Amino acid sequence: MLANQIKYVILHLTQFIIEYNMANLNCIKAVLAEKGIMSKWLAKTLQKDPATVSKWCNNHAQPDLYTLARIAEVLDVDIHRLICHTKEE
């Protein structure tokens, strides 16, 4: 019984750590909002599934570097604008 509880806690802690580390890696959604562009337009322009672009915008998945460079190109921004930066404490 205790072993199952420990497995449960470890599983949930692992999921939390993964989600925490994946949170806000890209700023695609913010850049789209600043430019008044919808994610559906980006999906169509990149010839990607709108669900995939939605996952990128919500940081549930990340585009590869080639795609990130392409996004920067079509949005006319420096690629660094698409990567969220956090202050180190």
Determine the topology of domain 25-89 in CATH: 434 Repressor (Amino-terminal Domain) (1.10.260)
Mean pLDDT of the chain: 85
C-alpha count within 13 angstroms, C-beta hemisphere, residue 16 = 6
Question: What is the block-wise mean pLDDT of the chain (89 residues), using blocks of 10 residues?
Answer: 73 65 81 97 98 94 93 96 69
What is the per-residue pLDDT across 33-53, written as a single tens digit (0 to 9) for each?
Answer: 999 999 999 999 999 999 999
CB 31 within 8 A of CB 75: yes
Question: Environment class of residue 28 by beta-carbon count within 10 Å: exposed (0-12), middle (13-18) or buried (19+)?
Answer: buried
Model pTM score: 0.72
